[in-house]
């Protein structure tokens, strides 16, 4: 399985395709939809897309939140591609990109079901769990 990683431009057709994947994997199961006002705030973020051939199979967003800190968010892997190492490789690529941009710490709000995935990638829990979009989450971070 050969994967291609690509930073896609905000507002591009490729980025719009990532929104559809994010909705399908992260929002629709919760009865939610990404709103235009939420999407408008992503114009300065890094949008990473993962392709197999010409098919989008995964995506995530990197948001610089402070000096040398970056938040990984909206991590989505298409159902057919889950548990095949795609998410793992995508996170490693996002860490590489973040280091290139001078970031020292990456963090995320991990859904409880994703906690073991991030622990395998050496992210550690900071503090107690909390609820976001009605789901138990953990603040997890990793030194880059």
**pLDDT computed for residue 37 by the predictor:** 67
Q: Give tens-digit pLDDT for 83-106.
A: 999 999 999 999 999 999 999 999
Distance separating the N- and C-terminal Cα atoms of the chain: 27
Query: What sign results for the dihedral spanned by CA atoms 132, 142, 18, 67?
Result: positive
Domains of the chain and CATH, by start: 4-107 (3.40.630.30)
Q: What pTM was estimated for this model as a whole?
A: 0.91
Q: Give tens-digit pLDDT for 9-53.
A: 998 999 999 999 999 998 887 777 766 667 768 889 999 999 999
């Amino acid at each position: 399985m050969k994967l291609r990683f690509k930073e896609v431009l905000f507002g591009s057709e490729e980025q719009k395709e990532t929104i559809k994947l994010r909705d399908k994997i992260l929002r629709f199961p919760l009865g939610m939809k990404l709103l235009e006002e939420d999407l408008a705030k992503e114009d300065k973020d890094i949008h990473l897309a993962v392709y197999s051939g010409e098919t989008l199979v995964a995506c995530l967003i990197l948001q610089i939140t402070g000096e040398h800190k970056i938040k990984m968010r909206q991590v989505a892997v298409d159902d057919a591609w889950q548990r095949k190492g795609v998410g793992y490789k995508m996170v490693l690529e996002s860490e590489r990109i973040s280091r290139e941009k001078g970031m020292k710490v990456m963090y995320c709000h991990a859904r409880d079901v994703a906690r073991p995935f991030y622990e395998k990638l050496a992210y550690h829990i900071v503090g107690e769990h909390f609820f976001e979009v009605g789901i138990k989450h953990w603040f997890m971070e990793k030194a880059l």
